[in-house]
Structure 1
Amino acid sequence: MQITPDIALDESEIRLQFTRASGPGGQNVNKVESAVQLRFDVAHSPSLPDGLRARLMHLAGRRLTAQGELIIDARRFRTQERNRQDAIDRLTDLIRQAAVPPKQRHATRPTKASKRRRLDAKRRRGETKRLRVRDQE
């Protein structure tokens, strides 16, 4: 399964479990296992480079188990096939987000003019407060 031009996942790395979903569907809801739970072992996947793995684990948040397994629940649709596709799409979107490396921050200094403006504002504010003190005496 191709995620980006550089990253491809093996289908065997993804485990799908089907369960009964709550919500709309009438009597069908009680009979058909249309909800999908996708499990992907991020921590031990050979398809992911280390930097991507770390970013993906950070992005996954609460969806990640203590063992490093990503769990995605899909129960938005009434059919198993659409929920299955939804879960896979959400996994690929998450991996694509993690594939974008963060921009390096370049330290900048405040300009002379911005320092002057900040100090002038502080001076004006102090003056206002100083005038208030004289009014109360």
Structure 2
Amino acid sequence: MLKLTKFASYSLCNRNIKTLTASYFKSDISLDKLYPNSKQNIFTPSPPSLDKDKFNGFIPVNQLQITYDRSSGAGGQNVNKVATKVDLRFHVDNANWISDAIKNRLKEDHKMKINKEGFLIIKSELTRYQQMNLADALAKLRTLIRAAETPKRPEMSTETLEKIRKRQVMAANQRLLLKRQKSGTKEGRKAPTLD
């Protein structure tokens, strides 16, 4: 019993010494020594104000469902061990950071990417790194939203389409005429043959 209490007191004392030395030790390359005059408090900017009419590029990550899985394809053992594929989802109807017009356009243009529960699904397995795939998925989402934000081009009338078709036919005929003229010029440069 005596040995056990000595060991317990030694380990307790040893643990206290370790914590004391760890708290007072400063490396030569610590931030305090490298940048002695800096405040060293990290400033996290607040998210920009939400404008319902226009998308400002800010995507609130807390409203996204992000899951990671193993990627397919080449990559050796890394593919089998590390979950690098990103599956990013958000509920289109509950997204309060985009306008209703953008939501409707997303539903209309990307029906195949929205599941039955109303989640828009974006996947990325572009690289072997999880964070780069997450950045790629967020960039894809921003691209989809910005594309949905731009107004659709109005459809052209049949008269305009007919004018465009006639101009294309005239341009093709002009190109063939110039090609024939150039061919005739080159043919005229050849030496005459006695056949």
Both proteins in one fold, TM over 0.5 = yes
Q: What is the letter of the counterpart of residue 103 of structure 2?
A: R
SS in 2 for 1:73: strand
Structure 1 moving runs of 4+ over 3 Å: 103-106, 108-111
Q: What do you get for the CA RMSD once the two structures are aligned?
A: 2.6
Which residue of 1 is the match for residue 120 of structure 2? 70
Which residue of 1 is the match for residue 70 of structure 2? 20
Q: Is the 8 A contact 2:54 2:99 kept in 1?
A: no
Which residue of 2 is the match for residue 118 of structure 1? none
Which residue of 1 is the match for residue 146 of structure 2? 96
Which residue of 2 is the match for residue 6 of structure 1? 54
Total equivalences in the alignment: 110
Bigger Rg, structure 1 or 2: 2
Change (3 A) 1:51 1:35: same
Structure of greater relative contact order (alpha carbons < 8 Å, 6+ residues apart): 1
Q: What CA distance in whole angstroms lies between the structure 1 residues aligned with 2:95 and 2:129?
A: 29
Q: TM-score, normalised by structure 1?
A: 0.69
Report the CA distance between 1:105 and its aligned residue: 5.3
Q: Which structure 1 residue ranges, 5 or more long, are not aligned? A: 115-137
Q: What CA distance in whole angstroms lies between the structure 1 residues aligned with 2:136 and 2:76?
A: 22
Report the CA distance between 1:76 and its aligned residue: 1.7
Q: What CA distance in whole angstroms lies between the structure 1 residues aligned with 2:106 and 2:74?
A: 33
Question: Which of the two has greater strand per residue?
Answer: 1
Q: Which structure 2 residue ranges, 5 or more long, are not aligned? A: 1-46, 164-195
Change (3 A) 1:92 1:110: closer
Q: TM-score, normalised by structure 2?
A: 0.50
Q: What CA distance in whole angstroms lies between the structure 2 residues aligned with 1:11 and 1:31?
A: 26
